[in-house]
Amino acid sequence: MAEYAIVQTGGKQYRVSSGDTIRVESIAGDIGDTVELTDIRMVSAGGRITLGAPKVEGARVIAEISESGKGKKIVVFKYKPKVRYRRKKGHRQLYTDLTVTDILLDEDA
């Protein structure tokens, strides 16, 4: 069993341990579904660090979807002085909360 891992999802990297909850960009699935993340960049297991080039082969993180929704609203406002140019737009990013249940590393890979 691994101590922690570096996972990439949604274009961002996260350091996860078993039992951690992370907020990532939206992943398809319902609450309670199990998700397997396979884009693992680094794994620390038993004091031994395994680095990927770029991914660690045979490593995977098992997580459960605990929540999903929309983030806080961000207001985008464009303005140019003296030319009456104003544009106001809002954006709410979709997210998914994942609870990490297990980090697995195949030793023969």
pLDDT single digits (tens) 45-80: 888 899 989 999 999 999 999 999 999 999 999 999
pLDDT in tens, 16-34: 999 999 999 999 999 999 9
pTM over the 0.75 mark: yes
Measured distance CA(24)–CA(61) in Å, rounded:
14
Amino acid code (one letter) for 29: G
pLDDT in tens, 73-100: 999 999 999 999 999 999 999 999 999 9
Measured distance CA(5)–CA(20) in Å, rounded:
11
The CA–CA distances, whole Å, from 26 to 30, 69, 75 equal: 11, 8, 20
Q: What is the DSSP letter of 2?
A: -
Q: Would you say 65 and 98 are in contact if contact means Cβ atoms under 8 Å apart?
A: yes
CB atoms within 10 A of CB 19: 9
